[in-house]
């Protein structure tokens, strides 16, 4: 209860502060030392994080690596430390802390901020010329954020009830079909979600597909992979892997997943044991 109250207080003090010049001095005074010390934005993140990889892909596409420093949340005690919770009461990564102390959590918020703040550098990644194209990007992103991210842990977390894991895997299979439908809309112009140019929607989806491709194929018996009967998603996946920045993010996330393999994570969290139970459906 005390922890909740203190993180709520932290939220009032730090979270969603307005970035206007008028309150900047007051904001700086209230800032945690870690934020005040930085001379450029800090992205708290680790290589395996799919939500963080979405922001890294934006950075790579827009060539912002020198403009943003990436730090492991462990450098300030980890996601649940007092210092980190003061910056993001949700205790999740990624988190972008600006030099004036404004702390921005949520990968889509960070992605859009990076695109807005660096509109003059690299590709726009925010389809400008058509409301329909922007809506399709928003739709792909919303389906991912609303229906996939909250349940993605069924692929690699535990312990959890076997029913919860099985229901989650079925739900992921359904969402793969929903996203295939979204991919069809601009498929003729492809290869990206909204046509010929990459966007924040591609950045949102791709790292999560790396997780799904890895976990579902290797641990849940999806022998034909996640693209069987999903040709538009497969075409998009191949284009993303062929993209230089996409390939870089693939290697980062995949490298993290291989470390999980080496550490026996899927056995430890109960995935391996659950999938042995043939009374549930695991492969779709
Ligand atoms: N909606 C959030 C989700 C963030 C999220 O779940 N991040 C994961 C890593 S990919 C995390 O921090 N997990 C640790 C935890 O929940 O304790 C976003 O888009 O940033």
What share of the chain in percent tops pLDDT 70? 87
Q: Please indicate, yes or no, whether residues 42 and 135 belong to a single structural domain of this protein.
A: no
d(C-alpha 193, C-alpha 136), whole Å = 8
Number of Cβ atoms within 10 Å of the Cβ of 270: 16
Regarding the beta carbon of 144 and ligand 1, being less than 6 Å apart is answered no
Q: Please indicate, yes or no, whether residues 151 and 269 belong to a single structural domain of this protein.
A: yes
Q: Is residue 165 part of a domain?
A: yes
Q: Please indicate, yes or no, whether residues 111 and 154 belong to a single structural domain of this protein.
A: no
Q: Is residue 50 part of a domain?
A: yes
Vertex 118 angle, CA 149 and 128, to 5°: 75
Q: Is the peptide bond before 94 cis (omega within 30 degrees of 0)?
A: yes
Q: Please indicate, yes or no, whether residues 208 and 138 belong to a single structural domain of this protein.
A: yes
Q: Please indicate, yes or no, whether residues 156 and 265 belong to a single structural domain of this protein.
A: yes
Q: Is the peptide bond before 191 cis (omega within 30 degrees of 0)?
A: yes
Question: Do the Cβ atoms of 53 and 4 come closer than 8 Å?
Answer: no
Q: Please indicate, yes or no, whether residues 90 and 9 belong to a single structural domain of this protein.
A: yes
Q: Please indicate, yes or no, whether residues 92 and 139 belong to a single structural domain of this protein.
A: no
Vertex 109 angle, CA 192 and 96, to 5°: 115
Q: Is residue 39 part of a domain?
A: yes
Q: Please indicate, yes or no, whether residues 63 and 160 belong to a single structural domain of this protein.
A: no
30 or 173, which is more confident = 173
Q: Is residue 122 part of a domain?
A: no
> For residue 276, what pLDDT band results from cuts at 50, 70 and 90?
very high
Nearest to 270 by CA among 170, 152, 157: 157
Q: Please indicate, yes or no, whether residues 58 and 189 belong to a single structural domain of this protein.
A: no
User: How confident is the model at residue 21, as a pLDDT?
Assistant: 43
pLDDT at 5 over 80: no
Q: Is the peptide bond before 273 cis (omega within 30 degrees of 0)?
A: no
28 or 164, which is more confident = 164
Number of Cβ atoms within 10 Å of the Cβ of 262: 8
Q: Is residue 283 part of a domain?
A: no
Q: Is residue 125 part of a domain?
A: no
- The model's pLDDT over 181-202, given as tens digits with 9 standing for 90+, comes to 999 999 999 999 999 999 999 9
d(C-alpha 180, C-alpha 58), whole Å = 22
Residue ending a domain, choose from 117, 139, 170? 117
d(C-alpha 136, C-alpha 45), whole Å = 28
Question: Do the Cβ atoms of 41 and 98 come closer than 8 Å?
Answer: yes
> For residue 19, what pLDDT band results from cuts at 50, 70 and 90?
very low
Which of 46, 50, 51, when mutated, tests ligand 1's pocket best, judged by the most ligand atoms within 8 Å of its CB?
Answer: 51
Mean pLDDT of 148-170: 98
Mean pLDDT of 57-69: 97
- The model's pLDDT over 200-257, given as tens digits with 9 standing for 90+, comes to 999 999 999 999 999 999 999 999 999 999 999 999 999 999 999 999 999 999 999 9
Regarding the beta carbon of 200 and ligand 1, being less than 6 Å apart is answered no
Nearest to 269 by CA among 278, 279, 261: 261
35 or 267, which is more confident = 267
Q: Is residue 29 part of a domain?
A: yes
1 or 276, which is more confident = 276
d(C-alpha 94, C-alpha 105), whole Å = 6
Q: Please indicate, yes or no, whether residues 69 and 153 belong to a single structural domain of this protein.
A: no
Which CATH number goes with the domain that contains 89?
Answer: 3.40.30.10
User: How confident is the model at residue 129, as a pLDDT?
Assistant: 80
Q: Is residue 208 part of a domain?
A: yes
Regarding the beta carbon of 46 and ligand 1, being less than 6 Å apart is answered no
Q: Is 44 helix (H, G, I), strand (E, B) or coil?
A: strand
Report the domain count for the chain: 2
> For residue 25, what pLDDT band results from cuts at 50, 70 and 90?
very low
User: How confident is the model at residue 26, as a pLDDT?
Assistant: 52
Q: How far is the CA of 22 from the centre of ligand 1 (A)?
A: 32
d(C-alpha 86, C-alpha 8), whole Å = 9
What domain range includes position 150?
Answer: 131-275
Residue ending a domain, choose from 117, 146, 165? 117
Q: Please indicate, yes or no, whether residues 36 and 145 belong to a single structural domain of this protein.
A: no
User: How confident is the model at residue 214, as a pLDDT?
Assistant: 98
Task: State the pairing for strand pair 42-44/103-105.
Answer: unpaired
Q: Please indicate, yes or no, whether residues 110 and 143 belong to a single structural domain of this protein.
A: no
13 or 87, which is more confident = 87
Provide the phi-psi class of 121: left if phi over 0, else alpha when psi is between -120 and 50, else beta: beta
Instruction: Supply the mean pLDDT for the chain.
Output: 90
Mean pLDDT of 148-171: 98
Residue ending a domain, choose from 93, 117, 141? 117
d(C-alpha 42, C-alpha 34), whole Å = 10
Regarding the beta carbon of 114 and ligand 1, being less than 6 Å apart is answered no
Which CATH number goes with the domain that contains 245?
Answer: 1.20.1050.10
Regarding the beta carbon of 149 and ligand 1, being less than 6 Å apart is answered yes
> For residue 37, what pLDDT band results from cuts at 50, 70 and 90?
low
């Amino acid at each position: 209860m005390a922890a909740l109250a203190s993180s709520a207080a932290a939220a009032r003090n730090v979270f969603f502060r307005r970035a206007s010049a008028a309150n900047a001095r007051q904001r700086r005074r209230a800032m945690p030392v870690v934020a005040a010390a930085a001379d450029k934005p800090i992205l708290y993140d680790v290589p395996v994080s799919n939500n963080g990889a979405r922001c890294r892909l934006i950075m790579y596409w827009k060539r912002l690596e020198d403009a943003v420093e990436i730090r492991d949340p462990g450098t300030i005690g980890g996601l649940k430390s007092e210092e980190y919770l003061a910056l993001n009461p949700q205790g999740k990564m990624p988190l972008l802390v600006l030099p004036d102390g404004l702390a921005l959590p949520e990968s889509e918020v960070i992605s859009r901020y990076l695109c807005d703040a660096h509109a003059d550098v690299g590709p726009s990644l925010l389809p400008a010329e058509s409301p329909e194209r922007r809506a399709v990007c928003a739709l792909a992103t919303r389906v991912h954020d609303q229906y996939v991210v909250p349940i993605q842990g069924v692929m690699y977390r535990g312990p959890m009830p076997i029913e919860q894991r099985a229901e989650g895997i079925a739900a992921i299979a359904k969402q793969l079909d929903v996203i295939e439908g979204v991919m069809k809309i601009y498929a003729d112009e492809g290869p990206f979600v909204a046509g010929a140019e990459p966007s924040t929607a591609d950045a949102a989806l791709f790292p999560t597909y790396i997780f799904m491709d890895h976990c579902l194929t290797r641990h849940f018996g999806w022998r034909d992979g996640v693209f069987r009967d999903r040709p538009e998603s497969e075409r998009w996946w191949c284009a993303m892997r062929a993209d230089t920045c996409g390939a870089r993010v693939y290697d980062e996330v995949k490298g993290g997943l291989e470390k999980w393999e080496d550490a026996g994570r899927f056995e430890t969290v109960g995935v391996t044991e659950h999938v042995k139970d043939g009374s549930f459906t695991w492969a779709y």
